[in-house]
Amino acid sequence: MHYIIEDPGSGTSYPTSQSKVTVAYIGYLPNGNVFDQSATGNPPSFFLNQVIKGWQEGIPKFRKGGKGKLLIPSGLAYGTSSPSPKVPANSVLIFDIQLINIQ
């Protein structure tokens, strides 16, 4: 997995696998096709241990307020499964993220 930290954030701590995080994001394929994104003004909150492995590894690289990009190989994403017709099996996923909050 690769990640790019555009802004590390201003918080003093990093999330763990047990953290509940709020993340604004856009998920797209290498060809630029967007397959998912958070609602403007209403980003979702979730526990890190309940999302794909790429997020479990990548989100803890950022502090509260941090922004960046996660480039996730298929083995840390959905692998041979496809969660929707917009994401082919074995897809590399790219996410532009902003870590809004950590609980």
Give a yes or no: residue 79 inside a domain: yes
Give a yes or no: residue 30 inside a domain: no
Domain containing residue 50: 2-25+37-102
Give a yes or no: residue 82 inside a domain: yes
**pTM for this model (two decimals):** 0.94
Three-class secondary structure assignment of 35-77: EEECECCECCEEEHHHCCHHHHHHHHHCCCCCEEEEEECHHHC
- What's the CA gap between 81 and 100, in Å, rounded? 29
Q: The CATH number of the domain where 74 resides is what?
A: 3.10.50.40
Give a yes or no: residue 31 inside a domain: no
Cβ proximity of 22 and 48 under 8 Å? no
Per-residue pLDDT of the chain (103 residues; tens, 9 = 90+): 999 999 999 988 999 999 999 999 999 999 999 999 999 899 999 999 999 999 999 999 999 999 999 999 999 999 999 889 999 999 999 999 999 999 9
Give a yes or no: residue 88 inside a domain: yes
Give a yes or no: residue 32 inside a domain: no
Domain count, the chain: 1
pLDDT at residue number 100: 96
